[in-house]
Amino acid sequence: MKIYDENIDIRELAEVYDANSKDAFVSLYIDTFDEKFINKRREACSSILRKDMQLYTNFEKTMEMIYDYIDKNRKHNIIIFASYINKFFKAYKISIPIENLFVVDSSPYIRPIVESMDKYERYGLILINSHKAKMYIVY
């Protein structure tokens, strides 16, 4: 069973941030598609970000990018990190249940991934006999 998309690079995500320290990144963890949860959080964030037109515009365009992706992947548990103004979009399909989370910040919010990776740590298993060897990755 593949738990995480193997392309998740925690180090790369940890180095990503908004150069002006503005709340320009949306991090979305969604256990299948929960439109009510997303819309409620979107409305709350929009009302706060309206005070800064640049942040508000970035947020709305970032949400368009996110909805475009979700529309094609509604049946999967998904993690998305996106920022229109920073030209950044990463989405990952995962096979473990996750708690719905919607964060707007100056960088991708990766703590839940790190905690889950510790919980579902990979182990290597090597079986050897006199004729052959097999290697397995176990979660």
- Please enumerate in sequence order all residues whose Cβ is within 8 A of that of 84, keeping only pairs 6 or more positions apart, or say none: 58, 61, 62, 64, 65
Q: What pLDDT score was predicted for residue 121?
A: 65
Q: Is residue 50 part of a domain?
A: yes
Domain membership of residue 56 as a residue range: 10-138
Q: Is residue 132 part of a domain?
A: yes
Q: Is residue 99 part of a domain?
A: yes
Q: Is residue 102 part of a domain?
A: yes
* Mean pLDDT in consecutive groups of 10 residues from the start of the chain, 139 residues: 62 93 94 85 94 96 95 86 97 87 96 80 80 80
Q: Is residue 3 part of a domain?
A: no
Neighbours of 82 (CB within 10 A): 23
Q: What pLDDT score was predicted for residue 2?
A: 46
| C-alpha–C-alpha distance, residues 102 and 28, integer Å | 5
Q: Is residue 36 part of a domain?
A: yes
Number of domains observed in the structure of the chain: 1
Q: Is residue 1 part of a domain?
A: no
Neighbours of 104 (CB within 10 A): 23
Beta bridge partners of 94: 77
Q: What pLDDT score was predicted for residue 1?
A: 38
pTM: 0.79
Tell how far CA 51 is from the center of its chain: 26
- Report the CATH number at residue 134: 3.30.960.10
Q: Is residue 75 part of a domain?
A: yes
